[in-house]
Amino acid sequence: MSPHIYAVGLVVDDLHASLAFYRLLGVDVDDPADGQVHVEATLPGGLRLLWDTPDTIRSFQPGWAPPSGGAPRTSVVFACDSPAEVDATYDAVTKAGHEGAVPPWDAVWGQRYAVVHDPDCNAVDLFAAL
């Protein structure tokens, strides 16, 4: 057996804001219990999305510091059913107050594509086949 991707982990400053953002994209995730600092959701297909706070990471990796430099270091990619769904999702996310990094466009590789940022400035790509 070879290694395979099991989960995508996000380190977030505001757990509730991040969960609310990903719910806008259809991720079914429960609110954390009081004091809970690690949350997981299983996505369709079995991939898991994990959220931790910096303090959680530091608790088992002393000296850990978040990446610096300003550019997003993680990209989470969401497939949409249609180009119209890319546009509608981008509009819903930006109207909810989140940053629209790249408005929807028809990419030369045959997809409708857009990029938004989650509350921690991670890139979130939205796409659908043209």
Q: Tell me, what CATH number does 84's domain have? A: 3.10.180.10
Asked whether 18 and 119 are in contact (CB, 8 A), the reply is yes
Domain membership flag for residue 47:
yes
Specify the number of domains making up the chain: 1
Provide the mean pLDDT of the chain.
88
Instruction: Tell if the pTM clears 0.75, that is, is over it.
Output: yes
More confident call, 53 vs 42 = 42
Distance CA 58, CA 46 (A): 27
For 98, the token pair is: 């989140």
Domain of 117, in residue numbers: 7-63+72-129
Q: Is residue 2 in some structural domain?
A: no
